[in-house]
Amino acid sequence: MSSISRTAAISNTVLCIVAACGILLLPQSAATGAQTGLSFCAQVLIPSLFPFMVLSSFVVKSGLSSFLSKPLKPITQHLFHLPGCTGATIVMALVGGYPAGARGIKALIDQGNITPKQGERMLTFCVGAGPAFVISVVGTGLLGSAWAGVVLFASQIFASLFIGILTGLLSRDSQPSQPSPARTSSIRFADALVESTSDSTGGMLNMCAFVILFSTLLTLLQDSGFSQTISQALLFVGVPSSTANSVVSILLEVTNGCSLAAHNGVSPAFLSFALGWAGICVHFQIFTSLSGISFSRAKFMAFRLLHGGIAALFSGVLLHISPKTSEVFSTVSQPVQPLMAADLTGSLMLLAACAMFLLTLSAKDMDFSRKKC
């Protein structure tokens, strides 16, 4: 065993022991954190993210990505220096929430439409907060203004496009490696939907598990006084109190981090950075979505920092040139509220009706070929 592997094993063991001690010593805090994470999954994460995960996987598995990406082919090839069939996945990544892009990238690699190296480059800019979370949860729920959410979301889109163009320009002079031949077998529309739903369900369960885990960990850190110790240390070196009190939450989990940051009255630039960084919890969700795909975790996290920095800079510029934006961010609203909850029975009936309709469609009318880019 190498020294690096030995150090990692020791670190993991120590972390496990510390976490176990925290759960044993503060069982009520652990239970509260788990309940908070579970509530967030049910009320926010699943309704806002799961449909996009299914859709992003479906457009690739069904072969629709080649068709939908045709209008974007000049942009993806000349601006991002990527195969033309990646256009639909890039769009889904920009509007579908953090892991939606990763699911689409994995599907493209599995289909042989892009190489793992191209997928790794897409990962640098195809991971971002979706409008459902930024505008509805952060903007309306936390800041009491949809316009504030629009500004924050615009900063995330700008950062993603900037990094995508930058990485495309840096790879412009090198001939992109060709992916392995894509599978040419056709797949029925209904089969593609079933596969996409099944894959996304497993991914969704993994993501919820990480959210619950990190929510529990964050509650333990807060109730044990560790977060306050870090805050005091940051205050001692001159970090503003609003930022210092939010650092641990932002580092670990983006939702609780943004909620705490908004209540502490942090600047919009810091909120933009928090959304761009996304938190270690989201990072683990991405890693789970890309299981079996080789890519650099360190490079991914470095680009998350870059994304956060660019988003913060862009939101700062908007704040400077737009009086309306400055006025919106001068006040902070009430704690985050759950997204609008639909009636569960009605939702299930709607899903069942859609499934029955799809399954009764003629197979010959619903076939798409899995075409190479």
Question: What does the block give as tokens for 360?
Answer: 């009764």
Q: Which residue has the tokens 């850190």?
A: 221
Q: Above 50 in pLDDT, residue 347?
A: no
pLDDT tens-digit series, residues 76-97: 888 899 998 888 889 888 887 7
The total number of structural domains in the chain stands at 1
Query: What is residue 165's predicted lDDT score, i.e. its pLDDT?
Result: 93
Q: Is the pLDDT of residue 27 over 80?
A: yes
Q: Count CB atoms within 10 A of the CB of residue 126.
A: 26
Predicted confidence at residue 239, as pLDDT, reads: 82
pLDDT > 90? residue 176: no
At 4, is the pLDDT very low, low, confident or very high (cuts 50, 70, 90)? very low
* Residue 33 counted as domain residue: yes
Q: Taking Cα atoms as reference points, which of 73, 101, 79 lies closest to residue 89? A: 101
Q: Which residue has the tokens 């497993």?
A: 202
Confidence of residue 188 (pLDDT cuts 50, 70, 90): confident
pLDDT at res. 143: 81
CA-closest candidate to residue 222, choices 88, 84, 26: 26
Q: What mean pLDDT value characterizes the chain?
A: 77
Cβ atoms within 10 Å, residue 321: 9
Helix (H, G, I), strand (E, B) or coil at 367: strand
The per-residue pLDDT for 185 is: 45
Residue 1 predicted with pLDDT over 60: no
E strand or H helix that includes residue 188: strand 186-188
* 21 contact partners, CB below 8 Å, separation of at least 6: none
Q: Do 103 and 289 form a contact (C-beta atoms < 8 A)?
A: yes
Q: What percent of the chain has pLDDT over 90?
A: 16
Lowest mean pLDDT of 91-100, 252-261, 356-365, name the range. Answer: 356-365
Rg over CA atoms, the chain: 21
CA 119/CA 122 separation, integer angstroms? 5
DSSP string covering 281-335: HHHHHHHHHTTT----HHHHHHHHHHHHHHHHHHHHHHHHH-HHHHHHTTS--SS
Label residue 372 by pLDDT band (50, 70, 90). low
Residue 79 lies in a domain: yes
- Maximum Cα interatomic distance, the chain, rounded to a whole number of Å: 69
Residue 371 binned pLDDT confidence (cut-offs 50, 70, 90): low
- 10 part of a folded domain: no
In-domain check, residue 97: yes
Residue type, 351: L
Q: How confident is the model at residue 373 (pLDDT cuts 50, 70, 90)?
A: low
245 within a domain of the structure (yes/no): yes
In degrees and rounded to multiples of 5, residue 186 shows phi and psi of -85, 160
| Whether pLDDT at 343 is above 70 | no
Asked if the structure places residue 18 within a domain, the reply is no
- Could you tell me the two tokens for 146? 């949809």
Residue 335: name the closest of 80, 138, 152, 121 by CA: 138
pLDDT in tens, 258-280: 888 888 888 888 899 999 999 99
- Domain membership of residue 115 (yes or no) is yes
Which of 171, 154, 158, 43 has the alpha carbon at shortest distance from 118? 171
Give domain status of residue 3, yes or no.
no
Cα–Cα distance, 113 to 83 (Å, whole number): 8
Instruction: Report whether pLDDT(16) > 50.
Output: yes
Examine the pLDDT at 325 and tell me if it is beyond 70.
no
Residue range(s) defining the domain that contains residue 177: 27-369
For 108-158, how does the pLDDT look when each residue is reduced to its tens digit (9 = 90+)?
Answer: 898 888 999 999 999 999 998 888 788 877 888 778 888 888 889 999 999
Average pLDDT of span 60-80: 80
Closest by CA to 59, choosing from 221, 212, 189, is: 189
